């Protein structure tokens, strides 16, 4: 069972989608507690990062104005979170901290079952670095959802991208509560004959002992990300479960790879673990 769900909250459209995913899962899992986490940027960080390239000394009144703006935005995000959670009668908690967002989210991931973040908008976006750092920091399951829309039922049909790696194994363990709630689970392995067959026997047996019935598929292809996403569309998949960065993270970020493609697919929620 999912008992604690962390969701990264802000005043963006993507933040609203993350909240929708948290609310959907909370109502499905008997009112799992939602921890809404909001990172407060310091006024100095905002001013130094302004598009005008302003650096150096800032008058106290400008810093104070930025501080008030930050507080007002946080209050608006908190109000929206409270109203949405109370509307569906789920348990919730709000936390806001000043500091580096990835550090704040990673800290709270240590005592929650699942952390919800957004998928990236571009192949070299800052969000990819955020997601990668978060996975490396926590080694706990991360649910990356599209920015604008999530499936009506994330757990109805689930696809496991299985490559036999330790990362995939950790992702499956983290997804067990979701897999148990699914109506259909597809265990998909993709590779080339010369690379050797990926055994599905042991993981299939393990999942069946948990009461999860599987449809096993093995596909020969040099492009696993294409097969995974194509199968997702054909089978009306609501969630993809996969290991993250089984190869070098730097190599995948520069040259591409399965993790990168899944993180930016913007159609299917993806549960990943490293």
pLDDT tens digits, residue range 3-53? 999 999 999 999 999 999 999 999 999 989 999 999 998 776 665 555 444
How distant, in Å, are the alpha carbons of 2, 163, 227 from that of 218? 30, 10, 10
pLDDT value of position 122: 61
Q: What are the two backbone dihedrals, phi and then psi, of residue 176, each rounded to the nearest 5 degrees?
A: -50, -45
Convert the pLDDT of each residue in 183-229 to its tens digit. Answer: 999 999 998 766 766 899 999 999 999 999 999 999 999 899 999 99
pLDDT at 95 over 70: yes
- On the question of pLDDT at 236 being above 90, the answer is yes
3-state secondary structure of 162: coil
Q: What share of the chain is helix, strand, coil (3-state, %, to 5)?
A: 45, 20, 35
Categorize the per-residue pLDDT at 57 as very low, low, confident or very high, splitting at 50, 70 and 90: low
Using alpha carbons, select from 261, 38, 266, 36 the residue that is nearest to residue 150. 266
User: pLDDT at position 254, please?
Assistant: 39
In this structure, the strands spanning 215-220 and 114-118 are unpaired
User: 62, 15, 5, 73: which is closest to 40 by C-alpha?
Assistant: 73
DSSP state of 120: P
Consecutive H or E run containing 102: helix 101-109
């Amino acid at each position: 069972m999912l008992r604690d769900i962390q969701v990264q909250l802000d005043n963006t459209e993507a933040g609203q989608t993350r909240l929708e995913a948290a609310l959907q899962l909370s109502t499905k899992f008997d009112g799992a507690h939602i921890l809404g986490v909001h990172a407060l940027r310091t006024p100095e960080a905002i001013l130094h990062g302004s598009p005008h390239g302003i650096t150096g000394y800032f008058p106290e009144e400008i810093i104070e104005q930025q501080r008030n703006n930050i507080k007002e935005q946080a209050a608006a995000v908190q109000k929206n979170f409270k109203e949405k959670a109370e509307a569906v009668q789920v348990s919730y908690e709000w936390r806001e901290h000043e500091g580096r967002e990835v550090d704040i989210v990673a800290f709270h991931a240590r005592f929650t079952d699942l952390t919800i973040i957004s998928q990236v908008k571009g192949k070299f976006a800052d969000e990819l670095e955020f997601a990668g750092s978060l996975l490396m920091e926590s080694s706990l399951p991360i649910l990356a959802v599209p920015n604008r829309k999530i499936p009506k039922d994330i757990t109805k049909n689930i696809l496991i991208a299985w490559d036999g790696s330790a990362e995939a194994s950790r992702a499956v363990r983290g997804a067990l509560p979701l897999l148990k709630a699914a109506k259909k689970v597809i265990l998909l392995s993709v590779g080339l004959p010369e690379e050797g067959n990926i055994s599905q026997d042991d993981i299939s047996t393990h999942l069946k002992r948990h009461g999860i019935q599987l449809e096993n598929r093995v596909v020969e292809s040099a492009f696993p990300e294409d097969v995974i996403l194509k199968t997702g569309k054909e089978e009306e998949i609501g969630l993809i479960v996969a290991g993250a960065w089984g190869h070098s993270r730097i190599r995948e970020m520069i040259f591409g790879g399965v993790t990168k493609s899944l993180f930016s697919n913007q159609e299917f929620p993806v549960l990943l673990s490293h």
